[in-house]
Amino acid sequence: MKKRQTFNFFGVNIAEADLESATKLVKSYDFSSPNYVSFPDAYVIALCQGNDHLRSILNHALITLPDGKPSALMGKRKGLKHIAPVSGYWLCRALLDTGLSHYFLGSSQERLQRLEQKIAKLHPRARVLGFSSPRFLSESEADSGQVLQAEFDKINSVKPDLIWVGISSPKQDYIMYHHLPLLQHGLMLGVGGVFDYLSGEVNKSPEWVKKIGFRWAWRLLSEPGRMWGKYYFVFKKLSVRFVVAYLKG
């Protein structure tokens, strides 16, 4: 696979990519060589500022995609012409319409049932080989080793091309990293809350909101209790540094 150009975004190597190029890359991947794809948002980038281990996990991914406006804006500022936010939601929707096979790991059993029904309705030809709802893991448990071996035994028994990991960040990145040695076939993609949007459990922001860079405001208004602390943490860790770095180019 051709090595994609990257840029350093506060210590994390973000790839020059957009939805079209990311879709092509995944479709052409050799799934006999297991690997993982990360989608760090601003919160995860902020966490990396005090966590060399997490930063290393992101930088060892097959590709680390720009998830959200901040990383894409900085990439543009650094002269990358073909970079735009890559939505895990739309990447998943695009790849469900290919001949690739899929497995969904994460969320609750009830939500996975709704997800299965939604996929059958929206993507009737999708090759979905299985769904698995793992037990709840704390962040420290997710980073403690191969704690989901039973789930990965199931995955290996059906050998899907794509394993969509829908667990909150950064837990999903720890899980993909630690379980990569167990995986016999396929590409893991850590897509966080995409299962919630695909199942219809959570309303996705309109595309015009995303295009003007205000998806964060939509999420804050939709889930103030969950998102306020995260956004305050990002603001405290990155806001001034982002402005200074952007002005420097």
Report pLDDT digits (tens) over 175-189: 999 999 999 999 999
pLDDT at 202: 77
Average pLDDT, the chain: 92
Mean pLDDT for the stretch of residues 65-70: 93
- pLDDT reading at 218 higher than 70: no
Peptide bond into 170 cis (omega under 30): yes
The pLDDT value given to residue 227? 72
The H-assigned helical ranges of 4-68 are: 19-27, 42-48, 52-59
Residue 68, pLDDT above cutoff 90: no
Q: What is the mean pLDDT of residues 50-66?
A: 98
Query: Average pLDDT of 204-208?
Result: 71
Q: Over 80: is that where the pLDDT of 3 sits?
A: no
**The predicted structure's pLDDT at residue 1:** 56
Q: Enter the pTM of the model.
A: 0.92
**pLDDT score, position 201:** 81
Angle (deg, nearest 10), helices 215-222 and 224-248: 160
**What is the average per-residue pLDDT within 206-222?**
69
**Quick one: tokens of 160?**
């899907």
Maximal CA-CA distance, the chain: 51
Domain ranges of the chain: 6-248
Residue 56 has pLDDT above 90, yes or no: yes
